[in-house]
Chain A
Amino acid sequence: MAKIGVFTCWCGENIARNVDVEAVSEAISKLPGVACSMDYKYMCSEPGQSLIASKIKELGLTGVVVASCSPHMHLNTFRKTVELAGVNPYLVEMANIREQCSWVHTDKEVATAKAIELIGMAVAKVRRNAALEPIKVPVTKRAMVIGAGVAGIQAALDLAAGGVEVILVEREPSVGGKMAGLSETFPTLDCSQCILTPRMVEVGQHPNIELLTYSEVEKVDGYVGNFKVTVRKKARYVDIAKCTGCGSCWNKCPKKVPNAFDYGLGNRTAIYIPFPQAVPARPVIDADNCLRLQSMKKGKELCGICLKQCGTDAINFHDKDELVEYEVGAVIVATGYKLYQITKEQENPKLQGYGEYGYGKYKDVIDSLQFERIISASGPTGGEPKRPSDGMTPKTVVFIQCTGSRDNAKGITYCSKICCMYTAKHTMLFKHKVHDGEAHVFYMDIRSGGKMYDEFVRRAIEQDDAQYHRGRVSKIEEVMVDGVKKCRCYGADTLTGKPCVVDADMVVLANAMLPSSGVTSLAQKLSVGYDGYGFLSESHPKLRPVETNAAGVFVCGACQGPKDIPETVAQATAAAGKALIMLSQPYLTREPEIATVDERLCAACGACVKACPYNAISIEEICDRKGNLVKMTSRVNPGLCMGCGTCVAVCPSKSVDLIGFTDDQVYAQLESLLD
């Protein structure tokens, strides 16, 4: 015989204003199976919870209904309450008479009647609730970090320091990411290399970190605590174990191609390390440009100079891609960003290029990362500011902020957040190197929130004499002025209300930040959500900023949204912390409200397999003792199922049911409504 306790909350005035709580309580007490019906001003408070606990003990309740707010708000609160009083926590139901009743109705009589019906439904359901136990899942105490920029490096080092084995996967030949190419960093102007390279060395040497450069994630199987990640180690053609990084190969290689690390401003050879401080300091051969590898396709063996130069026999032209599977408990995604380009052809068809800025065909119109390389001591010009077209030292440089960003017509509506700061930094670095130079900045707003950030921008304006103009540049055209090529920028200064035209030697565009290429396919492999631009979605913008909706997968850095180095590092440490918390548990518990298949009824049609958004269902064989196939059935992996119920809806034989939301319970709720 069911003994249900119903506890109706006033929620101060929130519910009581529109619902006659005492009348509700009175009406509910007459329902079959209801042993007691109480009301209280704040049921979630200590006295409210004590009331529930005392009634459970006094009457020996077999189920509890709390009629108050949304279960999102307090279901866990009340589950703990009844558990402490000795009742299974899954024998609690909540009737939402606040968000779905008192807040949305004005007629007290109607709202009261609705509240009675909502609670009646909950009572009907809880009578059929089963005592459930949370699912326990074992944990592999190893983590994978994808992307070895500053975010990935930080996360890997923190995890490794916490005693966890880390697999650090990087698609480029070296770790370091975008930050390794920067010159100096705001707001302290300390050199990027000086901060980052020691940490790069550390990830290369740490005993707990296995570094996989020139590798990409191919496939992800498994579930939280027990992922199986397949990594493609791309053919490097150089045996890292044998190579000493002496450099005789890349010094002699005859083939020169633009270096992607310098964004095409400098050259590298076909066998190369992207930059001298690379970790590991071992070269790779770029197969598309290597004379030998290209000739081998045609059955010849040309060049091979590196092979002759190598003293340790490390070069292997027959190297192949290798697939390796790693078992990890948690995954941290730190794939970073790339810059939007103003070219006509866009990778993302929703974006448009800037024809008015020349679609990238003017050589002296460069983006901010190219400017970083030009101004960097390790860059292609050795830190001498020289413009790309003719190597002239630019005297007048125009910096255009919000290129792409906040431009609805071009397809990006967000603010890229860091451009105001690095543009101020660029003006300073430029003026420090070209003392008689002019730096003009066209901006829409200066967004310099952060410790010492606004002071930094004011320093650029007040001490380094950067000329700031509030307005966008409408057009750039190449003109000849006294025999010198100039980029004429047609801008405006809305503070004087006048057009403002500047003839620049070089133009630097503060292009919008976009998530790096390929992040969406990675996100699909990991079942992580992403927005229209490809930025990965965090679970909750405030309360779960590094978790994703895929359990066991965390995000940090610019793959989640535009952010600067301090924020990226903070988020990376946060993600590592969250992963450590998870990996330090002896086992993981998951909600038991998942799908279950009645294997006697299942026809193995596969409809649920296709419908499942979490790849949690598979078709399995049922065999007898002799190993003969009895029948096929679909089966739910309890580690992966999120309890969404999609499979229940599509199953034609009604053999799938959702524990905690069984058909029996749902029909009982509907029947109570129709009574």
Chain B
Amino acid sequence: MEKPNQDWTARVEELAHTRLSECYQCGKCTAGCPRGMIMDVPPARMMRAAQVGDILETARADSIWRCLSCLTCSARCPKSVNVSSVVDAFRQISIETNSMSPESAKIVEFQKAFLRNVRRNGRTNEVEMATDFEVRYFFRRFDVMNVINTGLLGTKMLKRGKMNFAIGSPVKDKDLVKRIFSKCDVKL
């Protein structure tokens, strides 16, 4: 007996600060999504799942992590629903319930590494962030071949100037960065 789960719908609304019932399923978010073609659950379907409380299953979908957060969906929504923030809500629930696929878990790790780096420097230092990500990821999977391959790729990129030690030196006002992060209350 499957029933619409009102509690989950309310939770998504709370996280996303948007009214789910406003969505009338026109599909414009999916139509404009640059990654819509490779999503197992495209944005409009995600909105419908949120409306009927079908949250946990959707939180397992890879597509919530394939979203680029470009905000095209939110910008073009005829009902001004913040679709992108609904995707973010799904991400939050996905992390809380630890329901990512291994493929998506890597994306999550990368995003965490990105945020850690920004918190430390106020901007990204590519070499530092890549090293942080790869080391942590290694301790999860112990995939030696992956480390060697990425190491070789990294060296190549450094040689060609695609990555640079010099770019990404810390910002001066570290306090400001601290304040931003404390306001967002991000746990990494």
Contacts and interface: CB of A to CB of B under 8 A. Distances in A.
Contacts of A500: 2, 52
A496 B45 contact: yes
Contact of A501 (B1, B21, B22, B48): B1
B4 A496 contact: no
B181 interface: no
B19 A496 contact: no
A462 B21 CA distance: 5
Contacts of B45: 495-497
A503 B24 contact: no
A503 B1 contact: yes
Contacts of B21: 461-462, 465
B71 interface: no
A493 B48 contact: yes
Given A462-B19, A500-B2, A501-B2, A470 B25 contact: yes
Main secondary structure of the interface of A (DSSP, over half): strand
B54 A496 contact: yes
B48 A462 contact: no
Contacts of B25: 470, 495
Interface string A484-517: 0000000001011111111100000000000000
Nearest to B19: A462
B17 to A, nearest CB: 16
A467 interface: yes
A495 B48 contact: yes
B39 interface: no
Interface string A438-460: 00000000000000000000100
A467 B54 contact: no
Contacts of A469: 52
A469 B22 CA distance: 14
A501 B3 CA distance: 7
A141 B25 CA distance: 56
Nearest to A396: B3
A462 B22 contact: yes
Nearest to A464: B21
B24 A458 contact: yes
A150 B26 CA distance: 37
Question: Contact size class for A?
Answer: 10 to 19
B118 interface: no
Most chain A CB within a 10 A radius of its CB, from B19, B48, B54: B48
A442 B54 CA distance: 18
Interface string A611-639: 00000000000000000000000000000
Interface in B10-45: 19, 21-22, 24-25, 44-45
Nearest to A438: B4
Contacts of B52: 467, 469, 493, 496, 500
Contacts of A462: 19, 21-22
A493 B25 CA distance: 12
A412 B185 CA distance: 59
A568 B45 CA distance: 39
Contacts of A470: 25
Most chain B CB within a 10 A radius of its CB, from A461, A469, A495, A503: A495
Interface in A351-387: none
Interface string B91-131: 00000000000000000000000000000000000000000
Interface in A492-547: 493, 495-503
B49 interface: yes
B2 A496 contact: no
B48 A496 contact: yes
A499 B44 CA distance: 18
A493 B48 CA distance: 9
A495 B48 CA distance: 7
Most chain B CB within a 10 A radius of its CB, from A496, A498, A500: A496
A498 B54 CA distance: 10
Contacts of B1: 501, 503
Contact of A496 (B3, B22, B24, B49): B49
A467 B19 contact: no
A497 to B, nearest CB: 8
A548 B1 CA distance: 54
A500 B25 CA distance: 17
A465 B21 CA distance: 8
A232 B133 CA distance: 92
Contacts of B22: 462
A442 to B, nearest CB: 13
A265 to B, nearest CB: 29
Contacts of B24: 458, 461
A469 B52 CA distance: 9
A503 B1 CA distance: 9
Given A462-B22, A496-B54, A467 B4 contact: yes
Contacts of A499: 2
A467 B6 CA distance: 11
Contacts of B2: 498-501
Interface string B39-66: 0000011001100101000000000000
A497 B1 CA distance: 16
A147 B171 CA distance: 84
Nearest to B58: A496
Nearest to B21: A462
Contacts of B44: 495
Given A469-B52, A496-B54, 19 more contacts: A461-B21, A461-B24, A462-B19, A462-B21, A462-B22, A470-B25, A493-B48, A493-B52, A495-B25, A495-B45, A495-B48, A496-B49, A496-B52, A497-B45, A500-B2, A501-B1, A501-B2, A502-B3, A503-B1
11 contacts: A462-B19, A462-B21, A469-B52, A493-B48, A496-B48, A496-B52, A496-B54, A497-B45, A500-B52, A501-B2, A502-B3
Nearest 10 A-B pairs (CB), nearest first?
A495-B48, A462-B21, A496-B48, A495-B25, A461-B21, A462-B22, A496-B49, A496-B52, A496-B54, A501-B2
